[in-house]
Structure 1
Amino acid sequence: MGSRDPHNPDVWILYNGVTAEHEGMLLFADSALLDVTGNNFTAYQNVKIQLSDTSFIYGDHLFYDAETRIVDIYGDTVTFIDGGTEMKTAHLSFDRIGNIASYSTWGRTTNADQLLKSREGYYNATTKMMEIFRKVELSDSSMVLYTDTLYYSTDNKTATFVSPTDIRTDSTFIYSERGTYNTETRYAVSTEASRIQSGARVLTCDSLRYDGLLRHGVAHGQVVIVDTVNQITCTGLFGVTDRQSNYSYITDSALVYLVDHGDTLFMHADTIFAYNDDNSQFTSIRANYHTKVFRFDMQGMCDSAYYSVTDSLLTLYGNPVLWYGNYQCLSDTISMQHDTSGVSLVLMRRNLFIAEWVDSLKFNQLKGRNGVMHFSGGEPSYADVLGNAQMVCYITEEDSLGRYSLIGVNVGVSSDMRIYFRDRRLHRLLSYVNPDMHTYPVDRLPDEYFRLHGFRWLDSRRPRTRLDVFQW
């Protein structure tokens, strides 16, 4: 039913249930005003628009401009439905030419299990793509994403972000400033300012690909993995993290540095593995191939190394070399334990050879099957050479000016030996079980004692700074 407006004959007043159609769009309302001259339509109460068999809009008040093909719908809750997508807001505009629904006064959209919220948003019903801005939130039962600009495909469930973005799950936090996230596969790609945190472990890099279902990530460019509890940092140019297997690894200029009681140990290798517990705290570090170690009080080199975080124990494997002051230690395997003062114990297993530089041609030498060096306050206290012990030790004398001169050489063999140190110098030696000891003038030392069998002086390969660990 309807009649002309007595004050404006170009306007028809329609009531008692209104149905209208314009170019395939159906409009329903309790009452309406049709402006014939202005070519627009205003509807009131129980407004419904049917755009297609699967696309509808519901609201309390509607204004439709037939010239621009734009519908503005108002209400306490305006609802736009397009198949499985449902958008709700207080004011929604629908552009029939572009097939785009939009809001600028806060809105929320649901699609399957996903909920999207923002202050401003646009939905293209043709491409099924959402563009939402300002205080954006995308969430479902297992994650929530916060950003300022987001493009979301309701078809392939992929969110694309181009502004600072946080993605949070029960166990993982991802930060990125550019990338994508698929809400079905939980696969994230970050191409700028990438960061992922799980418990105590934080990974940053230039670009990141992370599979949230497999909990597996691949990082490229300036990769840094940090255990914030144990103060361990791994760096490199390529990295992988696998939370299901509780490990990460870094390669390409790989470096790990461990802050231990205020001092830092730097270790480089071709590849560095970091193993963690269920709380993402590192439990051990493994360095594979071409390994070098630098710390202010000791340096090392070997094929591979293993560090136990719990025990503060570093073990060198594969032709290891350990330098401490003027001392060089060789053995099949060398283990070093640290305490609050620095190195506390060095264990050398099989084919022990310790050399101390005396001058450019002379070296104190200790050789045996196994060895243990004990430290006190970070300084060497005594060392035990266990099994087939041999030694060559130059005897020195100190003058009143504190200068040392050589006055002889002690050489000998026994089953075991103990050497005491003072001021990092050999001070006293004890021999156990069948000792055979001799003293020679320096210039009459037999040739076989000048260099014991197996002697190698590798000081040219010793790292002098933390950057030297990259030079093999």
Structure 2
Amino acid sequence: MGKYLLILIVLVGVYKSNAQIGGKIQVLGARTFEYDQAANGKIRKLIGDVRLKQDNTLLYCDSAYQYEETNYVEAFSRVHINANDSVHIYGDILKYDGNQKRARVEKNVRMNDNTMQLTTSDIDFDMVSNIANYSNGGRIVNGTSVLTSRFGYYNTKEKIFFFKKDVVLTTPDYTIKSDSLKQVTTTNTTYFLGPSTITNRLDTIYCEYGWYNNLRDVAMFSKNAKITSTKKVLEADSIYYERKNEYGKAYRNIRLTDYINKIELNGDFGEFFGKKNQSYLTQRAYAKKMLQNDSMYLFADTLFSYQKDSITQQRQLVKAYRNAKILKWDMQSVSDSLVYKYDDSTITLYHSPILWSGQNQITSDTIQMFLNNNKIDSFYLLNNAFMISKETSKHFNQVKGKYMKGLLEESKFKYLRVYGNGQSIFYAKEEKDSSYIGVNVIDCSEMEFFFESNKIHKSNFITQPDATFYPINQLKPEELKLKGYRWMNSSRPTIKSVWNYLVKK
């Protein structure tokens, strides 16, 4: 019983799908009426200024065949369909099924309403669903906008277009090339439903999904979103932008590459304020600075970027705020914050900074590093400068002063000069077997040190040195440490610690 009931339901569905929807096609006028005798008079020939009507649809042509039994019409030459006095379709040939209210217009097809004009080789129009579609290429003109595509669908009631394959939209301001595009004319919104490229005077945008509202000038790009300009590239999982306000947001896997300054900013959330020339990135935020044959990574809770502004005299820089770290294969640092200024190529570490290179550790209230030809070649320690150089797990050479200036070569210490309140502790070695024989404790207002292989090789004590040599075991451990001594190698950033930071965030 269930089997027969299922067959009955299917048959009813088939019957309904083929049931007559439209009323009888009426002839309003023609110059000549003829009947095809070969078809037993069941086919009417209409010639000259033919006018037909079905419900709210008017059909015009030069000649037509009317199949009265099947409620079907074939029309030829100067075909014109007027649907509800809102949609007009023109062409050379019309095949119209009055029962299903479906029209197919062929050759030199034009379709227009109060929003656009479409030209194509052939088009199908379902007057029940209000959907017109073409499959052999079409061209739509809407004001100053021109769109072409291989396939197209248009809901004439909802004013919604859908385009597929080789979609190109050209306007005075931009050009869009897309695999799939949807346009809602009532809201003036374009949806990108496949790989799409938007090109304008300033940049090129790529996405695989997104939308753009022309009225509000607001857009959202996602799925491999990318904005490319002559100087920068912005990539993210999704990008939101308000052009009038010059405001944007980006989400997940953000990467902003600045080719001019050779720096790359990364994070998982960012905001951009164009009118202020400012932006910031947070959540797994880090920067990658391309140096000569090397890269330097900057990590922080938040990265702020400030673009140069001639009106406010704002300088172009990146600020790393809270838990700032530098990671380079031969140099590392930690600080509360740091600032990298593009114009004078300086990196300044603030609030209890520590810098390591090899077995050397330097600290001060502020550390300033200078880049030359994309290489760090010098540094300056401002206030409470302190350098510790590890000899063994028990022996540490130390230099202390008010200020220090140093030179680097391939990120290794080459020269160090101490200014004001200089103090130092250096271990002396036996030349024959390099065993430790004693320690030099020296007070000197100004002194300098020369390095080889990142270790102190030679020293000069310039201003009134006061030096004392002690046998290796004469001084107590606490006396072998200058005031302020802290060996903090456990805080030194490593690739593993940074990787954990990125994963956990």
Q: TM (normalized to structure 2)?
A: 0.85
Provide the residue aligned with 1:366 in structure 2: 399
Confirm whether residue 219 of structure 1 aligns to residue 224 of structure 2. Answer: no
Confirm whether residue 382 of structure 1 aligns to residue 431 of structure 2. Answer: no
1:438 alignment partner AA:
T
TM-superposed deviation, 1:448: 7.1
1:392-403 matches, within 5 Å, as: 392-399=425-432, 403=433
Provide the secondary structure at the position in 2 that maps to 1:80.
strand
Provide the residue aligned with 1:182 in structure 2: 213
Provide the residue aligned with 1:17 in structure 2: 49
Confirm whether residue 61 of structure 1 aligns to residue 93 of structure 2. Answer: yes
Confirm whether residue 332 of structure 1 aligns to residue 365 of structure 2. Answer: yes
Provide the secondary structure at the position in 2 that maps to 1:460.
helix
Number of corresponding residues: 465
Distance in 1, matches of 2:324 and 2:200, equals 37
Is the 2:222–2:236 Cα contact (8 Å) retained in structure 1?
Answer: no
Is the 1:335–1:347 Cα contact (8 Å) retained in structure 2?
Answer: yes
Distance in 2, matches of 1:387 and 1:317, equals 21
Confirm whether residue 120 of structure 1 aligns to residue 151 of structure 2. Answer: yes
TM-superposed deviation, 1:285: 2.3
Is the 1:392–1:449 Cα contact (8 Å) retained in structure 2?
Answer: no
Is the 2:124–2:134 Cα contact (8 Å) retained in structure 1?
Answer: yes
Distance in 2, matches of 1:275 and 1:263, equals 25
Provide the residue aligned with 2:283 in structure 1: 252
TM-superposed deviation, 1:121: 0.9
Distance in 1, matches of 2:475 and 2:372, equals 40
Confirm whether residue 205 of structure 1 aligns to residue 205 of structure 2. Answer: no
Q: Which runs of 5+ in 1 are unaligned?
A: none
1:154 alignment partner AA:
T
Provide the residue aligned with 2:117 in structure 1: 86
Distance in 1, matches of 2:170 and 2:49, equals 39
Q: Give 1:26's match in structure 2, choosing from 58, 66, 84.
A: 58
- Can you list the C-alpha shifts for 1:235-276, whole angstroms capped at 9, x where unaligned? 222223444444442211112122201111111100112345
Distance in 1, matches of 2:499 and 2:377, equals 23
Is the 2:358–2:412 Cα contact (8 Å) retained in structure 1?
Answer: no
Provide the residue aligned with 1:443 in structure 2: 473
- Can you list the C-alpha shifts for 1:202-241, whole angstroms capped at 9, x where unaligned? 2222222223343433222222222245442222222234
Provide the residue aligned with 1:414 in structure 2: 444
Distance in 2, matches of 1:340 and 1:143, equals 38
- Can you list the C-alpha shifts for 1:276-305, whole angstroms capped at 9, x where unaligned? 569xxx953221110111112211010111
Q: State the identity %.
A: 31
Confirm whether residue 52 of structure 1 aligns to residue 52 of structure 2. Answer: no
1:433 alignment partner AA:
T
Confirm whether residue 72 of structure 1 aligns to residue 108 of structure 2. Answer: no
1:139-158 matches, within 5 Å, as: 139-158=170-189
Distance in 2, matches of 1:140 and 1:312, equals 42
Is the 1:463–1:469 Cα contact (8 Å) retained in structure 2?
Answer: no
Provide the residue aligned with 1:321 in structure 2: 354
Is the 2:291–2:374 Cα contact (8 Å) retained in structure 1?
Answer: no
- Can you list the C-alpha shifts for 1:90-118, whole angstroms capped at 9, x where unaligned? 21221111111111111122345443321
Q: As a proportion of its length, which structure holds more strand?
A: 1
Confirm whether residue 40 of structure 1 aligns to residue 72 of structure 2. Answer: yes
Q: TM (normalized to structure 1)?
A: 0.90
1:73 alignment partner AA:
V
TM-superposed deviation, 1:341: 9.3
Provide the residue aligned with 1:166 in structure 2: 197
Provide the secondary structure at the position in 1 that maps to 2:415.
strand
Provide the residue aligned with 2:33 in structure 1: 3
TM-superposed deviation, 1:7: 4.4
Distance in 1, matches of 2:211 and 2:156, equals 21
Provide the residue aligned with 2:11 in structure 1: none
- Can you list the C-alpha shifts for 1:359-387, whole angstroms capped at 9, x where unaligned? 33332111111100123454422211011
Is the 1:319–1:332 Cα contact (8 Å) retained in structure 2?
Answer: yes
Q: Which runs of 5+ in 2 are unaligned?
A: 1-30, 310-314
1:57 alignment partner AA:
I
Distance in 1, matches of 2:410 and 2:129, equals 77
